[in-house]
Amino acid sequence: MWLVCCLISTLVACTAQDPQQPPATAKPAPGVGAAGAGDPYYPTDGNGGYDATSYRVEVRYNPQTRRLAGTSTMTAEATQTLQRFNLDLRTLTVGEVEVDAQPARFGHRGSELTITPAKPLAKGSTFTVRVRYGGQPSREAKSGVGQLGWLTKRSGAVYALGEPHSASFWYPVNETPRDPASFELIAHVPEGWTAVSIGRRGKTSSGDGWTTFRWKESTAIPSYLTTLAIDKFDIRQSKLSSGVPVVDAFAPGAEDKKALASRLDEVVRFLSSRFGSYPQKSAGGIYLDVDIPFALETNGRPTYAPWVSLSVIVHEYAHQWFGNSVLLTSWSDICLNECLASYAEWLWAEAEEGADLDTRYQAEVEIASADLWSSKLYDMGRGHEFDGVYDKGALAMHALRAEVGDKTFDKILTEWAAKKRHRNATWPEFERHVERVSGKDLDGFFDAWFRGTEKPAERYLYPGRLSK
């Protein structure tokens, strides 16, 4: 994610509050899947007792009536005996649930859809859950990052976007980065409209005044990286020089972004040279003409607002390694995504635009406000995940590079991306990785920069060549 509010001084406004979250749930009874996946900040996000492997979501959406009708099928493995388990789904009305093709009882309260299969599921068994649902999707009450969820335009166009929440606004899901899964979308929209999503584009077909679009992401990814965008898009297809298929979608009014979009191959080649081979199977971008306050790294096909720049594209593409391939475990690990993606912008500026990063660092440290220093980069507290990770995060990564040296820093990033490719990771694991690769005890450095709420002491602020 790249927040436009990070351009302005009110960093405290960059928060992601979720006022509707109920309190943490108690330990569930035997045979009952937990109603939360264990995130300390969002305890009711996601669910326990199963491991989702794939989602197949089929939706029909009419921009005139603004009504969605969906059928989703989740395939999962039971990680315990399950008499009952939950999925996350907001607002929409559930009509019918089947588990392994047998009707199942269900209850829907708040964002928790509780399902009781006809027969308990044995630990280790693979099962499918089919949910028929519909209604008018909603959005989250306004938060610091803007509205999340199902964003609609007056024209009828819609965009399902948000971090940490978005998927549960339009399909039933285990909404936690701890349970990545593959994703397939079949979307029926009235003729003249186009439905764009992540992954590879499948066949388009039409009949009875409707057009069907198919998209498939075979890599297991967290649900906040899935999306659905329905608009009258101008679609451009091409390939990266590596052969990866590219689909760019330009909403009406965003056609002027085509020149910018054409620089994607250059960006991916640069990032691949720094972080290792491109970890996704598709590429491109969704260019909107609606002024959302963030860009989001929707998998292999980030979503951009009208203020998109090359730097924003570099940032969202860096996430294809850090965030979309190396997956965070808890939202307190967000620096794994954002500090690294923000610093990728610096690396691009240095290599491609001739920026002197030491000078830039010194200048930014000099003007940094107390607000900037007070933001923690790890364990920052719910609602404060995005406060410091962009600006202070990039400074911290530059200080780390000076502390360990350029060569070691490059090795740290490429080895991290390779070791954790398509796996969950935590910030403390990254710290141990840095110490192992550099051979240095960096406890003081990490405490000062990532856990501290004050300007780091001189030796951490100006390490290595920065001390001159």
**Interface residue list for Zn ion (CB under 5 A):** 1-2, 338, 341
Amino acid at 326: V
Residues 6+ apart with CB under 8 A from 68: 59, 60, 61, 92, 134, 135, 136, 137, 170
Q: Which is nearer to Zn ion, 2 or 430 (CB)?
A: 2
Q: Write down the least CB distance from residue 427 to Zn ion, Å.
A: 15
Residue with Cβ nearer Zn ion (145 or 341): 341
Query: Toward Zn ion, which CB reaches closer, 394 or 399?
Result: 394
Give min distance, CB of 2 to Zn ion, in A: 5
Rounded to whole angstroms, the Cα distance separating 337 from 327 reads 8
The least distance separating Zn ion from the CB of residue 297, rounded to whole angstroms, comes to 6
- Give the nearest distance from C-beta 447 to Zn ion in angstroms: 24
Residue 368 CB-density burial (10 A; 0-12 exposed, 13-18 middle, 19+ buried): middle
User: Where do the DSSP E strands lie in 263-337?
Assistant: 283-287, 294-295, 303-304, 326-328
Q: What is the 3 state secondary structure string of 411-436?
A: HHHHHHHHHCCCEEECHHHHHHHHHH
Closer residue to Zn ion (CB): 2 or 449: 2
What is the SS3 assignment for 143?
strand
Question: 436: which 2 tokens?
Answer: 């192992």
In the complex, least distance from residue 320 CB atom to Zn ion, rounded to whole angstroms? 11
Q: Which is nearer to Zn ion, 39 or 385 (CB)?
A: 385
Smallest separation, CB 336 to Zn ion (Å) = 11
CB of 315 to Zn ion, least distance (A): 5
Closer CB to Zn ion, residue 176 or residue 342?
342
Residue of minimal Cβ distance to Zn ion: 1
Closest listed residue to residue 132, CA positions, set 179, 89, 193: 89
> What type of residue sits at position 26?
A
Q: Which is nearer to Zn ion, 78 or 148 (CB)?
A: 148
- Identify the CA nearest to 53 among candidates 176, 183, 224, 199: 183
CB contact at 8 A, 4 and 379 = no
Shortest reach from residue 345's CB to Zn ion, in Å: 10
Distances (CA, A) of 105 to 4, 88, 413: 44, 16, 48
CB closer to Zn ion, 2 vs 213 = 2
Q: Please check whether residue 66 is in contact with residue 150, taking contact to mean a CB–CB distance below 8 angstroms.
A: no
Comparing CB distances to Zn ion, the nearer of 157 and 288 is 288
Strand-pairing partners, residue 105, are 116
- Alpha-carbon torsion angle 284, 288, 292, 293, nearest 10: 50
Cβ at position 319, least distance to Zn ion in Å: 6
